[in-house]
Amino acid sequence: MQLGTRWTSGDEAPRAVPDALRRGIRSVDESIPNDDLGQPRPRWTLTWLEGRPIAELDTGVIVTLGADGEAVVRHDPDDGFA
């Protein structure tokens, strides 16, 4: 596994993020409600596993690329978040 980079949800994804993955990340970011209490937004981590990009949000949401090259969004049930 190769470590990529981290950035805050809602910020522009780094250039290393493929366009299809970027669209999936953007859709997740748009679904996160604004926090009027000033809580920090979760952060994304981009890693590469066997040459494939994986973006994981601190909340357990994972965005990968499917066989068709389009973004696949899923939630990791083992992360402890409901």
The residue that leads in pLDDT, 72 or 77, is 72
- Residue 69: inside a domain: yes
pTM of the predicted structure, to 2 decimals? 0.82
Structural domain boundaries enclosing 70: 2-31+41-79
Domains: count for the chain: 1
Whether residue 59 is contained in a domain is answered as yes
The 10s digit of each residue's pLDDT in 24-74 is 999 999 998 877 777 788 999 999 988 899 999 999 999 999 999 999 999
- Residue 36 inside a domain? The answer is no
Separation of alpha carbons 71 and 57, rounded Å: 14
Determine the Cα–Cα distance for residues 79 and 52; give it in Å rounded to an integer.
Answer: 21
Predicted pLDDT of residue 18:
93
Q: Has residue 70 been placed in a domain?
A: yes
